[in-house]
Amino acid sequence: MGSLSIWHWLIVLVIIMLVFGTKKLRNIGSDLGGAVKGFKEGVKDGAESATADANASKTIDVDARPKS
């Protein structure tokens, strides 16, 4: 936590709660959580589509021989 002790951080937290209020902080937290969740889903979907594109572009090149 740097050079500040736990008491310094608690005082800063109390001041932030007094300035913004708990309801606004809760809304900010839920918005931030939703943004992180959306980012993770976007990265996951991007990786899946890249894998699907790589698998779709593979071709098998063989010579066909008649049965004897």
pLDDT digits (tens, 9 = 90+) for 40-54: 998 888 777 767 666
Closest CA to 8 of 16, 60, 46: 16
Specify the higher pLDDT residue, 53 or 17.
Answer: 17
Whole-angstrom distance, CA of residue 56 vs CA of residue 61? 14
Specify the higher pLDDT residue, 50 or 21.
Answer: 21
When pLDDT is averaged across residues 18-25 and rounded to a whole number, the result is 87
Whole-angstrom distance, CA of residue 12 vs CA of residue 19? 11
Start-to-end CA span in the chain (Å)? 78
Least confident of 2-11, 26-35, 54-63: 54-63
